Amino acid sequence: MATFAARYGDPSAVTSVLNDVLRLQLAHRSVRKFGPQSVTDEELTALIAAAQSAPTSSNLQPWSVIAVRDPSRKARLAELAGAQAFISQAPLFLVWVADLSRAARLAERAEVAVDAVDYLETTIIGFVDTALAAQNAVIAAHSLGLGSVFVGAIRNQPAAVAAELGLPPHTVATFGLAVGTPDPGENAGIKPRLPQGAVLHHETYDAAAADEHIPAYDERLASYNRRFGLAGDWSGRVLGRLRGPSSMAGRHVLRETLSRLGLPSR
């Protein structure tokens, strides 16, 4: 199946606009099994340069990233992030940090106030800019033949992660990114996404028209899951994941934790 069709799990999905960059993006998949090769310092430098080339609100550049290679530290972070073994197995684990501490230190040296750091808008900027940067790094990694997977579970125990990484006040680890050479034996594919009709609106939001596409997508994703020994469809996954605090792996207290880390987000 062509890459565009594979992205939607639909043989009828086609496009006449395709180039090398789009092929790279359309072929993206999460990698959770890595080969023994290391990620070189030169490759890491290239990934961070790509990350820093992402857009940033008002040029604030409110993020940092910690490259973790030490096996013991990776193992501890893996435990804090839901005991996910691939974190330990990956040669490189990048922890992306929404970092407003740099601005706070700048203000301290200049002896001026930066009260806007304490507001929700600035916290959102920190998270958004960090995500934009990290996604640039993912595409760059793919272009170098590396695979990766984001790890949101790094937010399960943000205070413990902050202690492990020595994070200063006004920062929080937003997510991790395991990086390495994909193991060709990993049983995984390009996971179909929602049809464009479910996410693309023209001029105004049309919920009824968008939701008409969900039943067909549920069937496609369920079929994909069965190929890899998994059960369930998209709707069931969404409802289960968002049912309440019990499904959030400790992240239901994130607001209180952010405040303790120096990000009151008021």
Q: What is the pLDDT of residue 2?
A: 77
Whether 176 contacts 154, CB under 8 Å: yes
Which pTM was predicted?
A: 0.95
* Tally of domains in the chain: 1
User: For residue 16, how far is the Cα from the chain centroid?
Assistant: 29
- Report if residue 104 sits inside a domain: yes
Q: What is the pLDDT of residue 3?
A: 86
pLDDT tens digits for range 85-99:
999 999 999 999 999
DSSP state of 170: T
Q: How far is CA 179 from CA 67, 118, 201, in A?
A: 10, 33, 34
Q: What is the pLDDT of residue 264?
A: 95
Looking at every residue in the chain, the average pLDDT score rounds to 96
- Report if residue 48 sits inside a domain: yes
Q: What is the pLDDT of residue 188?
A: 83
Which secondary structure element, helix H or strand E, spans residue 178, and what is its range? strand 171-180
Q: Domain of 180: which CATH number?
A: 3.40.109.10
- Report if residue 131 sits inside a domain: yes
Q: What is the pLDDT of residue 119?
A: 96
pLDDT tens digits for range 6-30:
999 999 999 989 999 999 999 999 9
- Report if residue 237 sits inside a domain: no
- Report if residue 76 sits inside a domain: yes
Q: What is the pLDDT of residue 202?
A: 98
Which among 65, 54, 172 has a CA at the least distance from the CA of 122? 172
The residues of the chain scoring below 70 in pLDDT are 1
Query: What is the residue range of 68's domain?
Result: 31-188+250-260
Name beta bridge partners: 149.
178
- Report if residue 1 sits inside a domain: no
Q: How far is CA 80 from CA 96, 162, 164, 174, in A?
A: 15, 11, 10, 13
- Report if residue 231 sits inside a domain: no
The three-state secondary structure class of 142 is helix
- Report if residue 228 sits inside a domain: no
Q: What is the pLDDT of residue 102?
A: 97
